[in-house]
Structure 1
Amino acid sequence: MSGDSNVRPVIIKRKKVVAGDGHHGGAWKVAYADFVTAMMAFFMLMWLLNATTEKQRKGIADYFSPTIAMARVSGGGSGALGGNSVFAENTLPRMGTGSTSLKPQADASDKASSTSGEDADKAAEDESFEVVEDMLMGRSGESMVADELLEHIVTRVTDEGLVIELFETENARLFEGDSKPTALLKDLSRIIVEASYMVTNPIAVEAHTSAYPIVIAENPAWDVSAQRAAMFREQVISSGLESERVRRVTSYADKEPIRSNRMDIRNNRIEIVFLRE
């Protein structure tokens, strides 16, 4: 028994050898990172195309366009895929992606001067419109319109030009029946012609009517407004206005009322617009 106790125990160690780790190495991580980066760039591009205007996209393209002239590079093909470099000297301006030494972009000072010139023209037109308004409405102390006619005139300056509105009242109508002008409208047309001598702007004539009762089988508003617009054009021309200055004649029927009650007599009106040039 003593001999057996002196025998040292035998310990067996077994090592588990695996060729590579459980994920076959780390190369897949690099490929996955490249894929995620490419997808992020793709979705960023899609977002930019959707969230920016054409002018903003052109600005982004100009930012990445080269600032030095580059030689034209061509391949052996032809057509749309003929091998032309997008950075070629004659390609950038044609594609609208930048400027080159041959075709530089417009100078900012030129754009600024053009904008300032347009503002100056608009301001000059506004001043001439104010002169016409003052003479019509008597703001300068003298009016070319009698008091009984003045209550039928409203003026306003808009982006389109000077709008002179001639409207009816319960006691003074502009038309007899559908489109026959009254003496009041004839007097007002002569005033418009006299006012037109102060400016050279082209003129637009617009006719509006109040709404007709719903019980009518056929709504005559369109026909009536068209007849009134054409009639007023003939009236101002016969009063001395040059026919070439009438740029547009439009009928709106009862589609643009100025009173909440669409049947209000005040919606019966003729609008003369001195258009901006």
Structure 2
Amino acid sequence: MSGDNKVAPVIIKRKKVVSGDGHHGGAWKVAYADFVTAMMAFFLLMWLLNATTEKQRKGIADYFSPTVALARVSGGGDGPLGGDSVFAENVLPRMGTGSTSLRPMADNREKGSFSKGESSDQDTQTEVFEQAEDMLMGRGGESMVADELMKHIFTEVTDEGLVVELFETQEAPLFKGEAEPTQLLRDLAIVLVRAAQIVTNPIAIEGHTAAYPVVLAKNPSWDVSGMRATAFRELLFKANLPEQRVQRVTSHADREPREANTMDLRNSRIEVVFLRRQLE
């Protein structure tokens, strides 16, 4: 037993091993999650811009716009502002965003901003344009145009107004020779006069032609498009359209083709634009 006391004690050291902090302790995961969230929000925004209409986007923008009650009259005090409220229309800083809807200013209109009354008038005109467009194209189940005439009509509502395009085909031209109207164009003129009874806006008439072969010594497209626009204006007058309704007659020659092939017959057309009324 005494021999056992001479044996040196066995000492076991347990060394605590500390592993690495795992790429800065996982903070990169938070940054990566923020990046993924931001990318998801960006692609969601791009999808919304592509999937919504102009009116819907305006509604979304109005929803997030701050609303502050603005006073048009004096605050009634005698302080440094002379009794004016800092939110009064005549004191409110002008940042080029237009006037208030209660008292529009002419210089704000020049910046392209509309007051509530002006915007409402523009919307009303657009609704009338769309109603006339539906009747011309028979989209509502009721059309003022026969099927054989409807094949030669294309309508579009733009910022300028309601554009009614009359185009010819190989089988049914609008003109004989350079500027002699066919019976088809005479019938289309009657249709346009009927539409002018619904849409009372002023009218612009524009003549277009397909490109002529370059081998010609002189390009007649300017003269021909001008003569055709003038001939159609006379047809409208004969169909009892008041002369004061026509604001302008324009010759575009072959400068604004509808088809990539400038010599395509589809580019020969008459455009009638019911112009938007601009408020003074």
Q: Is TM-score (shorter-chain normalized) higher than 0.5?
A: yes
Matched position secondary structure for 2:198: coil
Show the counterpart of 1:195. 195
Give the equivalent residue in structure 1 for 2:169.
169
Q: Runs in 1 of length 4+ with deviation above 4 angstroms?
A: 103-110
Q: Which amino acid aligns with 2:261?
A: N
Report the 3-state secondary structure (helix = DSSP H, G, I; strand = E; otherwise coil) of the residue aligned with 1:189.
Answer: helix
Instruction: Please point out which of 100, 119, 125 is paired with 1:111.
Output: 100
Give, in angstroms, the shift of residue 177 of structure 1. Answer: 0.2
After superposition, residues 1-277 of structure 1 pair within 5 angstroms as 68=81, 104-105=90-91, 111-113=100-102, 114=104, 115-277=115-277
Residue 181 and residue 116 in structure 1: after superposition, are their counterparts in 2 closer, same or farther (change >3 A)?
A: same
- Residues 106, 166 of structure 1: alpha-carbon distance in 2 compared, 3 angstrom cutoff: farther
- Give the C-alpha shift of residue 107 in structure 1: 9.1
Change beyond 3 A, Cα 1:110–1:267 = closer
**In structure 2, distance between residues paired with 1:200 and 1:154:** 19
CA distance in 2 between partners of 1:209 and 1:105 (Å): 55
Partners of 1:107 and 1:140 lie apart in 2 by 48
Offset of 1:140 from its aligned partner? 1.3
1:112, distance to aligned residue in structure 2 (A): 3.2
Residue 58 of structure 2 corresponds to none
Give TM-score scaled by structure 2 length. Answer: 0.61
Mapped partners of 2:81, 2:259: distance in 1: 63
Superposition CA RMSD, Å: 2.5
Instruction: Return the alpha-carbon distance in structure 2 between the equivalents of residues 106 and 186 of structure 1.
Output: 57
**Structure 1: segments with no counterpart, 5+ residues:** 1-66, 70-102
Query: How far apart in 2 are the matches of 1:131 and 1:182?
Result: 28
Deviations 1:11-58 (A, max 9, x none): xxxxxxxxxxxxxxxxxxxxxxxxxxxxxxxxxxxxxxxxxxxxxxxx
- Cα distance in structure 2, aligned partners of 1:165 and 1:231: 16
| Segment of structure 1 superposing worse, 105-114 or 167-176 | 105-114
Q: What TM-score do you get using the length of structure 1 for normalisation? A: 0.61
After TM superposition, give the deviation of residue 130 of structure 1 in Å: 1.1
AA at the equivalent of 1:155 = T
* Count of residue correspondences: 181
Alpha-carbon distance, 1:111 to partner: 2.0
CA apart distance, 1:105: 5.0
Separation in 2, partners of 1:127, 1:141: 18
Q: Which residue of 1 aligns with 2:56?
A: none
1:106/1:181 CA distance change after superposition, 3 Å: farther
With 135-144 and 200-209 compared, the bigger mean Cα shift is at 135-144
Distance apart, 1:106 and its partner CA: 7.4
2:153 alignment partner AA: I
* Identical amino acids, percent of aligned pairs: 54
Which has the larger Rg? 1
Task: Write the distance in 1 (CA, Å) between the matches of 2:200 and 2:268.
Answer: 28
2:37 corresponds in structure 1 to none
* SS class of match (1:204): strand
Q: Distance in 1 between matches of 2:151 and 2:200?
A: 26
Gaps of 5+ in 2: 1-79, 83-88, 105-114
Instruction: For residue 131 of structure 1, report the CA deviation from its aligned partner.
Output: 1.1
Q: What is the alpha-carbon distance in structure 2 between the residues aligned to residue 106 and residue 235 of structure 1? A: 54
Aligned letter for 1:111?
Answer: T
CA–CA distance in structure 2, aligned partners of residues 212 and 173 of structure 1 = 16
Per-residue displacement from partner, 1:222-247 (whole Å, max 9, x unpaired)? 00011011111111011110000000
